[in-house]
Chain A
């Protein structure tokens, strides 16, 4: 690959993925939907960032924007996505397909267990990325690697010759995960990987992700609305609201005390099995992304609203490297908006 020849200042700090001011807007009959609107975050190797948010907040669009899996009605698609220091937004579609998608990045789609081809044996399906991208010399070699991938995700290897309908939901989810890992990507994006699974299966999958995180040197982005489950694998947490990242924190601090008022409301609405805290919910509804409010997008639902919230808050750096898009934190540290990497 050619990134070694380029002079990228980011290489010194070496984030695996760095997303800067990413925007993805869609044209619809009602106007332009600002699904992803100026998202900035970075992810180091071997780390997992969890993207939390309610449905319609743009978290799946963020995944699409990073993987460039775009529908036809794209209006704006801009920003920088640096993978190992290379701006993959600059790549042509063909180059992106050949070098990035499912080579250096891969993903496990939502309800992955239903995304398998029902008439192809699962072993062949898992081997397919290797064959399509010519990463294996022969089909036999690809199938051999598929067997390895099966072992990695904990599926008995005699399942290679089965069809998807012969497997349970949890097993199919593992197959989809094996498919995402087979090319040994640098970055794996998981979109709601456990939301359709049972409690025990979910715990099993989370154990699997924990092991994978330890064993393969990839970065993971986990998109979910399930906060309790996300705490199982998160190193960092990005909270999305109305197309923007409103808080980006280390998981250790976030789960103890979220900073952004929306994140606080979200955490208060998570029922805990043990402990007896009172539950609360965030009243109201997220704003329309067609014509979002000009100030802070959460202001209408925010219990801590004050005059300044009519202007859009920049991203402030709170203590220990936490980034919050909220005026309440303007005094904590000198503002720097948005936090830019040295260019």
Chain B
């Protein structure tokens, strides 16, 4: 497979997180023991993340983006493939213990993610205790620092409060404080603002961005809302049917999407404009593919209006690189990509 044509992308920097050919399949059984098949939630994903980089993973529900996040976090055990963090492969329990300290998780629903019977102090202290910060004075200092980092100030006022006493935005700040309290290098944020009100969303995204710059964090931002991505991420990966179909710079993807699915996704998102009333939006027909029994060839071909008969429905497209910063898994770009490689920047 030529799926590594674009590894030269920012090759000068060492990747913080390197994922090769990750597969996370769930076995489906009937009556508990009869094997029915596998749900291929994540099916062969190559992914790189550099230090201090924010990458958005965009896709509809059921495309595997949350499973991908959970595989990165080590919640779901990958079926196949390798995850390397700062050069160290994550294989056994000891790797995992070390690795989990480097990664923070910001959940989608802040209220559900916070234990209702713990106050703010305990919520933030717990990860420190578990990870062996023994002195209570140091713990106190660190949790105060985390709270002021997320702008829950004055700190004193919040320490004894319980999650239900906080507003949605404040709860999400607390979740973020908990995610950064171990000073991780990577934050995985799974739809961190989708449960919040419009006016608070931007506040939380700006907070995340500031923290990212302050601590040179890497962030994986998982969302279905492309319009917030621009204000946050450097790079976008579009997922469809358990695979990354396009990966590109934010501006390139928003202004010149290549994969037909990315195009459809962008066309479906309205900007506030009164003229919207007069036009119907174009939406590709059909529904996202079953991950139990995905279509042969390209997984988007049954809904794609540019599908090439005899190619797209038979053979799965490899990843092409029509330009340096873009990788796209679509047969439409095979020629463009070959020319470019012939033109010079080819590397094995």
Contacts and interface: CB of A to CB of B under 8 A. Distances in A.
A320 interface: no
A30 to B, nearest CB: 13
B200 A255 contact: no
B200 A272 contact: no
A118 B276 CA distance: 36
B197 A207 contact: no
B281 interface: yes
Contact of A199 (B201, B230, B269): B269
B230 A200 contact: no
A274 B231 contact: no
A170 B286 CA distance: 11
Contacts of A266: 198-199
A231 B270 CA distance: 8
A102 B269 CA distance: 32
A210 B60 contact: no
Nearest to A224: B198
B259 to A, nearest CB: 14
A290 interface: no
B197 A279 contact: no
B116 interface: no
Contacts of A228: 227, 269-272
A54 B199 contact: yes
Contact of B272 (A55, A202, A231, A279): A231
A282 B201 CA distance: 10
Nearest to A202: B268
A269 B197 CA distance: 10
A203 B283 contact: yes
B231 A271 contact: yes
Given A198-B60, A266-B199, A272-B227, A203 B268 contact: yes
A293 B300 CA distance: 54
B271 to A, nearest CB: 4
B81 interface: no
A242 B108 CA distance: 26
A235 B277 contact: yes
B227 A273 contact: yes
Nearest to B286: A200
A5 interface: no
Contacts of B287: 168, 170
Interface residues of A, number: 48
Contacts of A255: 272-274
Q: Give the one of B167, B231, B274 with max A CB within 10 A.
A: B274
Interface residues on B, range: 35 or more
A274 B276 CA distance: 14
Contacts of B106: none
Nearest to B280: A207
A266 B272 CA distance: 11
B202 A280 contact: yes
Interface string B159-202: 00000000111000000000000000000000000000111111
Contact of A254 (B60, B231, B274, B280): B274
B303 to A, nearest CB: 9
A56 to B, nearest CB: 9
B310 to A, nearest CB: 27
Interface string A221-245: 0000111111111110000000000
Nearest to A207: B280
A200 B286 CA distance: 10
B264 interface: yes
Contacts of B329: none
A274 to B, nearest CB: 6
B228 interface: yes
B203 A281 contact: yes
A285 B264 CA distance: 36
Interface string B93-130: 00000000000000000000000000000000000000
Contacts of A269: 198-199, 201-202
Contacts of A169: 61
A142 interface: no
Interface string B257-279: 00000001111111111101100
A252 B276 CA distance: 10
Given A207-B281, A279-B231, A273 B203 contact: no
Contacts of A275: 271
A55 to B, nearest CB: 6
A251 B277 contact: yes
B265 A282 contact: no
Given A203-B281, A281-B202, A273 B226 contact: yes
Interface in A48-89: 54-55
B51 interface: no
B296 to A, nearest CB: 22
B281 A265 contact: no
B210 interface: no
B65 to A, nearest CB: 12
B108 to A, nearest CB: 13
Contacts of A211: 280
A138 B267 CA distance: 45
A232 B230 CA distance: 22
Given A206-B281, A228-B270, A274 B254 contact: yes
Contact of B198 (A210, A225, A232): A225
A251 B274 contact: yes
A201 B61 CA distance: 10
Contact of A270 (B198, B267, B281): B198
23 contacts: A54-B198, A55-B197, A169-B61, A198-B60, A199-B224, A199-B226, A199-B268, A200-B283, A210-B280, A225-B197, A231-B270, A231-B274, A232-B270, A234-B277, A256-B274, A266-B198, A269-B202, A272-B227, A273-B227, A279-B202, A280-B202, A281-B202, A281-B203
Interface of B: 60-61, 167-169, 197-203, 206, 224-228, 230-231, 254, 264-274, 276-277, 280-281, 283-284, 287
Closest 7 CB pairs of A and B: A203-B268, A198-B60, A54-B197, A255-B274, A271-B227, A252-B274, A272-B271
